[in-house]
Structures are given as C-alpha cells and as structure tokens.
C-alpha cells in the first residue's frame, strides 16, 4: 500500500503549510512584514505502463499510460511582496516606502542588510538608527540642537535648528531595489540580505523610476490579510484531515486482509 | 477451481493502485497547476483453467490497469502579487530546459538566478521559442508581460516565453516537480491562450470527489475480500462433503 506513504507526504506538506500560515498570523502587526506562501510540487511518478508504448500486435499505441505519483514535496516558501497598507503615526522618524525599494542598514559586521520597516530612532550621537540601533545608509548625524526633522518624498533630510530660519540639509536616504525581491534571505528583525537568487541591488533615489516614494510620519503595515490566512488555515486543516483519512482507509483495507480467518 | 479467487484478486490489486492514485491527488491538493488523475481499469481476458470448454464462457475477465487519465480542466487562478508568477489561461505549457532535455510545465512560479536568467523553482532555465534562456537586464526593477508572453523590463526588452501546446494533453508523461515530457511535436498555442502576471494556477483536485472515491474503493476492496472468504468457505465445504466416506 503505497497510499500510506503518499498520504504521509501530504500530511507533512500541510503541516508545513499550517506553520507558514501561523507565522503570517503571528506577524500580522509586524511593520512591513510580507506574508509568505508555501509552494508544493508533485513528487516522482512510477510508470507502470508507459505512454506511447505498443499495446498489442496490431501496432495500437497506448494513449495514456499508468503513471502512479508518489506524493508531494515542498518546493519553496516565498514572500508575496505586495505593498502593505500605510498607517499614519505622526512620528517624524517613522518612514514608509510607497512602491518598490528597501532602506540599507549597516550590520555590526559592516555588511549591508535591507529593510522596509521604517520605524527609526535617534541614537546618542544623533544617528538615525533602526529599532535595533543599526545605522541607516545615507543619513548624516542630526545636530543636537535640531528642533524638528523633515524628510521629503525623495528621502532628503532637513533639520530646523534653534534660532535659524533656514533648514539645514542632513543627507538623503538612498533606496535599493532588487529584480527578484522574493529571493532575498530574511534575517529576522524585519531585515533581509541579498542572495544569488535576488540579484545584485540597484541603488537609486526615492521617487525615481523603479523606486517608490518615502512618506514621513507613516509606517507600512504587514500585508497579511487575516481573512485570507484563516481561510487558508481552514483549507490546510481540512487537507491534513483528508490525507489522514487516506491513511485510515488504507489501514482499514489492510485490516480487511488480516481479519479474514 | 481457483478462478473466482484469482479474478477477485486482480480486482483487489487494481483497487490498491487506485487508492495510490487517490492518495497522490489528495497529497497534491495545494500543488500549483497539478492535474488530478483517475485510474482507468480495463478488462483482461484470460483463458479458463477448466479444460473442455470452448466458445462463450471459455475465457474469464480479469481486471487490468488501462491508464491514468488526467483531468485537463484548468485549476483556479490565484493572485499572488509576485511579478515573476505567471499563469496560463487556456491550453498550453511553458518550456523549461533541464539536463534531460526540454520539459513542459504550467507551474509559472519563476525566479531569477545569479546570471539574471529566468528559472523555475528547481533552477531550470525557462526558454524562449528558440530554446535560449531569457536574461533579465542587470538592474531591472520591474518586469512586464504581454498576454502573448513577451517579457520586457524597465531596462529594455527580455524576449518571449516559449508557449506550446500538444495534440493531446492526456498523453503527456509526468516526470514530477510539476514537469511534463512528451515525444509529440510542439505546436504554437491558440491566440486565446494568454499569460497572466502575478497569478498562479492552483491544483484542480476536487477533494469531495476524491474522498467519496476513496470510500468507494475501500468498500469495493472489502467486498472483494468477502468474496474471497466466501469462495474459500465454499471450496472447503465442497471438499468436506465430497470426501465424506461413510
């Protein structure tokens, strides 16, 4: 009874599906979280009777062979990079990217990570940093006597200082884009690093072609659609149950054999 | 003498294969572009072991495996919002180049590899009508596709997806990982077949149908077993009655 092991692959796949869905629901309030989707593929097939083989002496050809599949496997768990909703926060260092692009963050080992979660803060030196204290590329240190910070749609930073009428420029956020966002590797803490699959980053300015605009005082919410996740959860659970029913039915079929005599 | 038992045995073997097919369908209920299969039984005529009988009744029908037929109705198209996900609406396949030769798929979840080439989930190159890989220009941020499968990016044109159809979707051989293989010649797709970006075709497995079929198979298997048991009892009784000597 191969159906026992085939159904087991189905249960494993649905279990992973539920894990992905539960991670999406757990991150429904995570800034700039992109929901994930598990993708499955059918496993190998065993040909019991090959398509196109000769059926009999009269040269008739088998139109459809007997191909028994051996179950399912997980091909990928990939992110769906749809724009999340923008929520206003009023905080002058909360930045949302509307459209394509990532902020660049310098990790402690000096490599660059990428994030769309723009809930930034100032550190003790006036640097604009992420919630984990990592520096954002492009922004200069904000002088300590600054009264307010203004960031325009292209990511240019201006500060107004006590006793000065003119706004002083304090750098500009640059954005990067990837040809294949899905190929970025998540690091956790809303950050990603580039991989071979994502391609090399293209550095550009917010608002230019191929890049989104930066909005001050907004945050991008997660693009998790709870209704959709719950319906996915229900269908994953039912699919799991159906596969376990297959195991049960196969088991009962074997039992039929054992119970005779 | 043993013929009824062997006939029923052939049915049981076929039913257990059908159970495998149903299990595979249910395991692939979430596999993109998966086409559900049904196992077709056919009659296999064997010679009766009773000597002396000719003409009608001289042959017994066993159950044989005819073929696995795919349900070629398209699966539901699901939006994913990913610009490298493509769904085919209408008959046809994408072509991918594998080390074993060209394979065909309807699973349009593609990615870009380190060389900028369009590849499928296993990393096999998706090819254009000339069989060449499709290379995305360095630094391109957005990719657009026309309904006929021509890809372009903000940094220039990329090329066309090879879209093909075959005489028979039924005769395609499955090689796993959503790929199909065939010896029949490729044909250009109908003008009504279009490529949809940001969408993926789902599996066309209908769980209700599969589960009810599964119950049917299980009960038929049990009925066959009862038949074998009864046949055994009948044999036993015949031996006991016929060998009574007093």
Instruction: Give residue B201's pLDDT.
Output: 92
CA-derived radius of gyration, chain A: 27
* Same domain? A73 vs A104: no
Q: Rounded to whole angstroms, how far apart are CA atoms A153 and A216?
A: 8
Q: Rounded to whole angstroms, how far apart are CA atoms A116 and A211?
A: 12
Instruction: Give residue B51's pLDDT.
Output: 63
Higher pLDDT, A96 or A49: A96
Q: Model confidence over A167-184: pLDDT tens digits? A: 888 889 999 988 778 888
* Same domain? A125 vs A203: yes
Instruction: Give residue B114's pLDDT.
Output: 73
Instruction: Give residue B48's pLDDT.
Output: 66
Instruction: Give residue A23's pLDDT.
Output: 95
Q: Across the A/B interface, how many CB contacts are shorter than 8 Å?
A: 223
* Same domain? A162 vs A51: no
Question: What average pLDDT score do residues A163-168 get?
Answer: 84
Residue A213: pLDDT band (50, 70, 90) is very high
Name, of A135-139, A208-212, B97-101, the range with top average pLDDT. B97-101
Asked if B39's CB is within 8 angstroms of A80's CB, the reply is: no
- A238 neighbourhood in chain B, CB within 8 Å: 207
CA-derived radius of gyration, chain B: 26
Residue A57 has pLDDT above 70, yes or no: no
**A179, closest residue in chain B (CA to CA):** B141
* Same domain? A203 vs A231: no
Total number of domains in chain A? 2
* Same domain? A192 vs A173: yes
* Same domain? A68 vs A102: no
Q: Model confidence over A60-99: pLDDT tens digits? A: 766 677 888 899 998 888 888 888 999 999 888 999 999 8
**pTM of the model as a whole:** 0.81
Instruction: Give residue B183's pLDDT.
Output: 85
Instruction: Give residue A195's pLDDT.
Output: 87
Tell me the percentage of chain A whose pLDDT exceeds 70: 95
Instruction: Give residue B153's pLDDT.
Output: 86
Tell me the percentage of chain A whose pLDDT exceeds 90: 46
Higher pLDDT, B51 or A192: A192
* Same domain? A95 vs A30: no
Helix H or strand E segment including B67: strand B59-70
Calculate how close chain A gets to B191, using CA atoms only, in Å.
27
* Same domain? A211 vs A120: yes
Instruction: Give residue A55's pLDDT.
Output: 66
Higher pLDDT, B45 or A190: A190
Per-residue pLDDT of chain B (246 residues; tens, 9 = 90+): 567 888 899 999 999 999 999 999 999 998 999 999 999 888 888 776 666 667 666 778 888 888 888 898 889 998 887 888 899 998 999 999 999 999 999 999 888 887 788 898 888 999 999 889 998 887 677 888 999 989 998 888 889 999 999 988 888 888 888 899 888 888 888 888 999 998 899 999 998 899 999 999 999 999 999 998 998 899 899 999 999 876
Asked if A68's CB is within 8 angstroms of B66's CB, the reply is: no
Asked if B23's CB is within 8 angstroms of A3's CB, the reply is: yes
Instruction: Give residue B86's pLDDT.
Output: 92
* Nearest one of A165, A156, A128 to A143, comparing CA atoms: A128
- B154 neighbourhood in chain A, CB within 8 Å: 209-210
Tokens read off for B67: 């073929």
Nearest to A40 among B30, B139, B222 (CB): B30
Beta strand pairing status for B85-89 and B118-119?
unpaired
* Same domain? A145 vs A242: no
Question: What average pLDDT score do residues A217-241 get?
Answer: 92
- B177 neighbourhood in chain A, CB within 8 Å: 41-43, 73, 75
Asked if A196's CB is within 8 angstroms of B177's CB, the reply is: no
Instruction: Give residue A259's pLDDT.
Output: 78
Residue A121 has pLDDT above 60, yes or no: yes
Nearest to B67 among A62, A73, A75 (CB): A62
User: The domain containing residue A38 runs over which residues?
Assistant: 2-81+227-259
Asked if A42's CB is within 8 angstroms of B34's CB, the reply is: yes
Nearest to A40 among B31, B138, B173 (CB): B31
Q: What is each CA distance from A22 to A18, A29, A183, A189, B133, in whole angstroms?
A: 6, 13, 21, 17, 37
* Cβ-contact A230, A40 below 8 angstroms: no
* Same domain? A177 vs A58: no
* Same domain? A143 vs A27: no
Nearest to A71 among B27, B30, B222 (CB): B27
Q: Rounded to whole angstroms, how far apart are CA atoms B198 and B78?
A: 9
Which phi and psi (to 5°) does residue B135 adopt? -105, 130
Least confidently predicted of A55-59, A99-103, B14-18: A55-59
Calculate how close chain A gets to B28, using CA atoms only, in Å.
6
Calculate how close chain B gets to A32, using CA atoms only, in Å.
15
Give chain B's end-to-end CA distance (angstroms, integer). 25
C-alpha A59: how far from chain center: 53
Residue A9: pLDDT band (50, 70, 90) is very high
* Interface ipTM above 0.85: no
Instruction: Give residue A180's pLDDT.
Output: 79
Asked if B21's CB is within 8 angstroms of A69's CB, the reply is: yes
Instruction: Give residue A1's pLDDT.
Output: 80
- B178 neighbourhood in chain A, CB within 8 Å: 41-42, 75
With the C-alpha atoms ordered B216, B222, B223, B228, is the resulting torsion angle positive or negative? Answer: positive
What's the DSSP call for residue B206? Answer: -
Asked if B207's CB is within 8 angstroms of A238's CB, the reply is: yes
Higher pLDDT, B122 or A13: A13
SS3 state of residue B9: helix
Residue A220: pLDDT band (50, 70, 90) is very high
* Same domain? A91 vs A203: yes
């Amino acid at each position: 009874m191969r159906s026992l092991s085939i159904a087991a692959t189905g249960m494993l796949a649905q279990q992973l599906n539920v894990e992905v869905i539960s991670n999406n629901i757990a991150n429904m309030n995570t800034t700039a979280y992109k929901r994930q989707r598990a993708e499955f593929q059918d496993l190998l097939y065993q040909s019991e009777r090959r398509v196109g083989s000769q059926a009999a002496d009269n040269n008739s050809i088998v139109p459809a062979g007997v191909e028994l599949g051996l179950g399912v496997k997980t091909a990928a768990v990939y992110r769906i990079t749809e724009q999340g909703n923008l929520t206003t926060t009023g905080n002058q260092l909360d930045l949302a990217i509307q459209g394509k692009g990532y902020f660049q963050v310098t990790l402690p080992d000096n490599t660059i990570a990428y994030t769309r979660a723009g809930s930034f803060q100032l550190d003790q030196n006036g640097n604009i940093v992420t919630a984990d204290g990592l520096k954002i590329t492009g922004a200069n240190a904000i002088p300590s006597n600054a009264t307010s910070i203004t960031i325009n749609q292209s990511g240019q930073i201006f500060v107004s200082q006590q006793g000065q009428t003119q706004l002083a420029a304090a750098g500009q956020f640059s954005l990067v884009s990837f040809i294949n966002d899905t190929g970025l590797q998540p690091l956790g803490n809303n950050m990603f690093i580039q991989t071979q699959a994502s391609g090399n980053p293209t550095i550009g300015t917010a608002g230019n072609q191929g890049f989104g605009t930066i909005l001050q005082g907004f945050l991008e919410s997660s693009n998790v659609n709870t209704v959709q996740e719950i319906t996915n959860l229900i269908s994953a659970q039912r699919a799991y149950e159906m596969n376990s029913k297959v195991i049960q039915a196969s088991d009962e079929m074997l039992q039929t054999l054992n119970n005779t005599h | 003498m043993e013929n009824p038992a062997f006939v029923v045995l052939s049915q049981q073997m076929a039913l257990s294969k059908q159970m495998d097919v149903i299990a595979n369908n249910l395991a692939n209920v979430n596999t993109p572009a998966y086409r559900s299969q049904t196992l077709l039984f056919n009659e296999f005529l064997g010679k009766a072991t009773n000597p002396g009988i000719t003409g009608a009744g001289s042959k017994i029908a066993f159950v044989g495996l005819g073929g696995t037929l795919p349900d070629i109705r398209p699966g539901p198209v699901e939006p994913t919002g990913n610009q490298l996900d493509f769904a085919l609406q209408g008959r046809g396949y994408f072509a991918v180049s594998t080390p074993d030769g060209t394979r065909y798929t309807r699973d349009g979840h593609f990615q870009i590899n380190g060389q900028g080439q369009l590849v499928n989930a296993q990393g096999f190159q998706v090819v254009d009508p000339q069989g060449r890989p499709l290379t995305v220009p360095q630094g391109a941020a957005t990719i657009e596709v026309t309904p006929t499968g021509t890809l372009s990016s903000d940094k220039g044109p990329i090329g066309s997806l090879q879209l093909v159809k075959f005489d028979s979707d039924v005769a395609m051989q499955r090689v796993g990982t959503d790929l199909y293989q065939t010896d029949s010649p490729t044909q250009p797709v109908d003008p009504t077949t279009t490529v949809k970006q940001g969408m993926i075709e789902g599996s066309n497995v209908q769980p209700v149908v599969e589960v009810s079929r599964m119950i049917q198979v299980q009960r038929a298997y049990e009925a066959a077993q009862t038949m074998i048991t009864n046949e055994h009892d009948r044999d036993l009784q015949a031996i006991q009655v016929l060998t009574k000597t007093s």
